[in-house]
Structure formats: C-alpha cells, structure tokens
A = this chain, B = another copy of it.
C-alpha cells in the first residue's frame, strides 16, 4: 500500500472524514468483492460472506459499514449496490479523474496501456519523458511530450493526478516539477522517498518492497513448519 506521508498522522483521532485510515484501506477491497458478487447476480451480501471472500472478519466488516448510516438489513445483509455507491462516494471516485504518466520507460509504457485504470474511471490523458528518442512517439495512441510542457498540458487537459515512473535518480527532481504544476496527487513508482510540499499528496508503490515482503512471508512459513 502506498505509505502515508509525514504530516498525515491523524491528530490523536480519526480523520476529519470520520473514517479511520485502516478502514479506508479496506474500502477499495470491499468494492472489488462487491463488484464480483454483483456480477454473479447477487443483490445482497452478508458481512460474513463478504468477509470470507476477502479474508476480513465479519465483525470488522460490520464495524466498517456501520460508519455509513444503517445500510444493513437484519436477517438479510447489505444491498451490494448501496454499498458500492456509498464506498465510491467516500473514496471520492464517484467522478472521473484524469492522470498523466511521467516517465515512459518499461513501466511507464505498461501503465499507459494498462486497461485496469480506464475500467475503473481513471483516464490517462498525457505522457511525458525527457528522452529525445521517445518524445513525439505514440505509445498506445498517446503522444509522448517533453517534460517542459508538463505544466501547460496539465492545465489544458484538466489533469489532476500524476503517475511517476522515472528512474530513482530523477524522481525527486521530476517530483518537484510536478508539484509546482498544481497537480493534486502523485502515485510514485520510484524507489525513493519523495520530499515534496504538502500541497500535493504522494502515495508510493515499490515493487521490490512488495517482493521483499513476500519473501519474508515465505521464509517465515518455512521456519514455522
């Protein structure tokens, strides 16, 4: 999961939204589970069933959903459609979000072509790089623009989010350019701790860290057995 930034520690309590950090992290997962479920033709689901599907306790599920007003029906469960809507509202994904990819190497190119983003309402509206060999080329139908056009393009195209997929060495510098452009949030794939003004939210995905954590789980299991 992306890490929470420095200043984000809830000051001695839950966040202003009234939802705890831990709960927010689960909402996206509930959403997946609910969509699966509805795809199978079920209109309602119990806390137990949803929890089992996701590896979350039924009590936890109920506590989380209790934050929404009385959405459940005793003896029945919850209506999937209701939950989906209220979760999407809560996360803020009930509207279209526009993103730019910054860094069109291996990973950046893959992210431009990744269908999952569009399917879930995120549109990739621009791609940037500094490499002259890439600039002007079309990747998955999107023209690669020089980084110096970043701010102007973001303004023109109404882009709010940046997905940063440049090499570690360039991440901080590039992050600063992005931050200055009025972008609201950065999803960072570079293995670097970005130090940016707090006007921009940063969330990081480090692929190698994910692998390392998997290895720990593997080794741990071997020891226990």
Which chain A residues have a beta carbon within 8 Å of chain B's beta carbons? 1-6, 8, 15-17, 24-25, 28-29, 31-33, 36, 53-55, 90-93, 97, 99, 106-107, 109-111, 113-114, 116-117, 119-120, 122, 160-161, 163, 184-187, 191-193, 201, 203, 205-224
Contacts and interface: CB of A to CB of B under 8 A. Distances in A.
Given A28-B206, A32-B193, A53-B193, 9 more contacts: A16-B224, A28-B212, A106-B109, A106-B114, A110-B111, A114-B207, A161-B211, A201-B214, A201-B221
A181 B23 CA distance: 36
A160 B191 CA distance: 24
B215 A97 contact: yes
Contacts of A207: 111, 114, 116-117, 205
A185 B208 contact: no
28 contacts: A1-B210, A2-B213, A2-B214, A17-B223, A28-B208, A29-B193, A36-B193, A90-B216, A91-B213, A91-B216, A106-B110, A106-B113, A106-B114, A107-B114, A111-B207, A116-B191, A117-B211, A119-B208, A120-B211, A163-B211, A184-B221, A187-B210, A187-B211, A187-B214, A201-B217, A201-B218, A203-B210, A203-B214
Number of copies of this chain in the oligomer? 2
Nearest to A216: B91
